Structure formats: C-alpha cells, structure tokens
C-alpha cells in the first residue's frame, strides 16, 4: 500500500528562542517507518514567516507499524514575536516561543553565545545548520542567515570568517546537525 506524501501529523510542538533564531521541535507519529519528515518555511511572503510539517514517502515496502518521529529546525525569526505559526495534518497551531533553558545551553553556545570566540563589535554574525553533516550546506545556511549588507561603498569587499565548526547530537531536539558560525566584516 502506498501512502501519499503531504502534511505530517503532530503530537507535540515546541519552540525556543536563541538570540535571533528559533528552534522548532515537532514530535509526532507516522503510519509506517517509510517516511521522512521535514519542517519547511511556507512559500507565502508574509512576516513573520510560517512553517509547515511535511512527510515524504521513502522508496520501498514498509511494515504498517506506527512510528514515532522527532524533527527539529533552526530558523531566523523576528525577535519581537512571542509565537510561531506551524501548519500540520491536524490543522494550524500558534506555538509559544520559550526561552532556552539549561537543557539547551550547548545549543545557545552554537548560535553565538560563546565568549571564547566573539565576533568583533559592529560585525555581522550568523549560524547555519546541516542535517546532512555537510560543511558546505551549513556554511551556505549561515550566509543566508546574515542580515543584508550595510556598506556605504557600492562595491565593498566582505570578509567572512568561520568562528566555529561543530556538531550537535541528541538532546531534547534530537539533534544530528553540523553547525557553522560565521562573522562578516566589510572593507
């Protein structure tokens, strides 16, 4: 029996604030182990952005056994917002954004609360993640997370320095992510 891809069911949604980022964690159940789950930003150009929990069918034949999942994603999100909108198979939820507690201390250090490797005053800092444990993907995600360049010179040169490379495994978000934290300065 083939089950079409689409919205994934959820049993629990959580969101945590870490500087300019929000960590979204989704727990749920799948009808078989033959699905992958992703959290994606809605293509609607609205602010603040909204997110959707999707499931994709993997090739093969799978037993009909309910399978729990946990998926997490870090997104750049406006700091003044207290909730994030998440769409899923059961509808839409406005999820309260919590402060990161002790259990996410390692995550806070990964996204920039690291006094051992600070970014210079006036420089731009960002962190990117890769679930494929790919440096290139994490670096590209970090560049995409940088704010728009604010240089008075039309053709200024940007210098991007990698401050930290690491990986997060386990924890309440079920991490299996490489992260790259970068710092951008202008000439």
What is the tens place of the pLDDT at every residue in 151-169? 667 777 888 999 999 999 9
**Mean pLDDT confidence for 113-118:** 67
pLDDT at residue 16 greater than cutoff 70: yes
Residues of the chain with pLDDT > 70, as a percent, come to 94
**Mean pLDDT confidence for 97-103:** 91
Residue 178 and residue 141 in contact, taking contact as beta carbons nearer than 8 Å: no
Instruction: Give backbone dihedrals phi and psi of 73, rounded to 5 degrees, phi first.
Output: -150, 135
Task: Give the gyration radius of the chain's Cα atoms.
Answer: 18
pLDDT at residue 111 greater than cutoff 90: no
**Mean pLDDT confidence for 35-61:** 93
């Amino acid at each position: 029996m083939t089950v079409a891809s689409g919205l994934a069911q959820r049993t629990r949604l959580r969101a945590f604030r870490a500087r300019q980022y929000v960590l979204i964690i989704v727990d749920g159940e799948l009808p078989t182990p033959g699905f992958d789950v992703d959290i994606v930003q809605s293509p609607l150009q609205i602010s603040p952005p909204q997110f959707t929990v999707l499931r994709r069918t993997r090739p093969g034949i799978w037993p009909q056994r309910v399978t729990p999942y946990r998926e997490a994603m870090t997104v750049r999100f406006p700091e003044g917002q207290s909730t994030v909108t998440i769409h899923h198979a059961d509808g839409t939820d406005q999820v309260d954004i919590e402060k990161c507690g002790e259990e996410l201390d390692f995550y806070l250090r990964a996204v920039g609360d690291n006094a051992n490797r600070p970014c210079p005053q006036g420089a731009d800092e960002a962190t990117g993640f890769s679930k494929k444990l790919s440096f290139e993907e994490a670096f590209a995600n970090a560049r995409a997370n940088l704010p728009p360049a604010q240089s008075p010179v039309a053709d200024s040169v940007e210098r991007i320095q990698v401050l930290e490379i690491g990986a997060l495994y386990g924890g309440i978000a079920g991490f299996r992510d490489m992260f790259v934290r970068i710092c951008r300065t202008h000439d």
